[in-house]
């Protein structure tokens, strides 16, 4: 069978793409290596997806989004996409259990947050260790928190948290920030942001199942200390899941797909949606929005080719 659209990844972007594709009359298959929901399924409580004033479990929302796409006719194949051939017509998407053929492709494979790899990080993930200030900052309103990292994303996360939290410790291993895009002068003038330079994280401490502090070492003096905080926001970068594209689609320096407002990539008939594309705000609401736009673009492509 040749599908009209093959969606790679069934996170919120992929499931929304599939829903919009099938509702517009296209045949559509989602290829997903795990289960429905991607990163969203790891979110115990989503407080900022509109329509849920009491919050919603990311896992439950993922099951419902998947069900909705399937009820309108989308198909799910559980497999990992390992290779693609976009020069062929139809396009070929390869998995260990066989090839899938489609006239158009929507890449919605998401990102993975880079980890510190220190003791306590995995143990307290979701209990004070976070990779997203927009997602979790509100849980620590009025509290002391730490942000780890020195690039743009760390600076943006710290700036966001400074508006919510009591004190934000920005821990960076070098003696100056690498952040380029923000107004560093304005940032430095924020009373409740404390810079902790030349410092690396040794471990994240906890008590009663929650983060209670971050233990750091000064790389110049060797001094060790613990900063008491309720949360540690790790902002050392995200790795877009684009390896399987093997350089066949234009990416930015971080590996994120470059796509325009219509979600079109550098390859005709190949679209990108959600966290995997270069964007400013990686959230469920922006992922679903991208998915709808990508499906509309795939419909236009299939109508004219
Ligand atoms: C712990 C946590 C908490 C969060 N909290 C919030 C929040 O409160 N509010 C909010 O709006 N956002 C939150 N986010 C961010 C939000 O979850 C993401 O922005 C959103 O899930 C992105 O959707 P996506 O579909 O683009 O990608 P993803 O959710 O990353 O989904 C991508 C999917 O593609 C699959 N995939 C990847 N590579 C392949 C391959 N080669 N073959 C097959 N399948 C593949 C993955 O398995 C995954 O299921 C949170 C994220 C995390 C990790």
Domains along the chain with CATH numbers: 2-112+238-304 (3.50.50.60), 115-234 (3.50.50.60)
Report if pTM > 0.85.
Answer: yes
Q: How far is the CA of 39 from the centre of ligand 1 (A)?
A: 3
For residue 304, the surrounding DSSP H or E stretch is helix 284-304
3-state DSSP assignment of residue 60 = helix
Local confidence pLDDT in tens for the 305 residues of the chain = 999 999 999 999 999 999 999 999 999 999 999 999 999 998 888 999 999 999 999 999 999 999 999 999 999 999 999 999 999 899 999 999 999 999 999 999 999 999 999 999 999 999 999 999 988 999 999 999 999 999 888 988 999 999 999 999 999 999 888 766 555 666 777 899 999 999 999 999 999 999 999 999 999 999 999 999 999 999 999 999 999 999 999 999 999 999 999 999 999 999 999 999 999 999 999 999 999 999 999 999 999 99
Q: How far is the CA of 276 from the centre of ligand 1 (A)?
A: 9
Probe target for ligand 1 pocket from 7, 20, 31, 39, with the most ligand atoms within 8 Å of CB: 39
Polymer length in residues for the chain = 305
- Tell me the CA distances in angstroms from 41 to 12, 65, 204, 243, one per residue in order: 9, 11, 24, 22
């Amino acid at each position: 069978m040749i599908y009209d659209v093959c969606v790679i990844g069934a996170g919120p972007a992929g499931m929304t793409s599939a829903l919009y594709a099938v509702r517009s009359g296209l045949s559509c298959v989602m290829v997903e290596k795990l289960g429905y929901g991607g990163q969203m399924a790891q979110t115990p409580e989503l407080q900022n997806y509109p329509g849920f004033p009491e919050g919603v479990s990311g896992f439950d929302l993922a099951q419902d989004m998947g069900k909705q796409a399937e009820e309108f006719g989308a198909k799910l194949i559980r497999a990992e996409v390992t290779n693609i051939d976009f020069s062929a017509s139809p396009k070929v998407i390869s998995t260990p259990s066989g090839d899938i053929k489609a006239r158009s492709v929507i890449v919605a494979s998401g990102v993975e947050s880079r980890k510190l790899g220190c003791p306590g990080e995995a143990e307290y993930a979701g209990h004070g260790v976070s990779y997203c200030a927009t997602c979790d900052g509100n849980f620590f309103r009025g509290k002391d928190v730490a942000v780890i990292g020195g690039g743009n994303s760390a600076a943006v996360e710290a700036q966001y948290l400074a508006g919510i939290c009591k004190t934000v410790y920005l821990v960076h291993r070098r003696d100056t920030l690498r952040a380029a895009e923000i107004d560093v002068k304005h940032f430095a003038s924020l009373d409740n942001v404390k810079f902790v330079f030349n410092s690396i994280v040794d471990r994240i401490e906890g008590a009663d199942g929650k983060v209670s502090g971050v233990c750091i070492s000064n790389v110049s003096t060797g001094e060790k200390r613990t900063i008491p905080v309720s949360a540690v926001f790790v902002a050392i970068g995200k790795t877009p899941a684009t390896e399987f594209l093997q350089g066949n689609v234009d990416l930015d320096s971080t590996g994120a797909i470059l796509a325009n407002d219509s979600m079109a990539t550098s390859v005709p008939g190949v679209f990108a949606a959600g966290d995997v594309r270069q964007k400013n705000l990686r959230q469920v609401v922006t992922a679903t929005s991208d998915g709808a736009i990508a499906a509309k673009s795939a419909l236009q492509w299939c109508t004219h080719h």
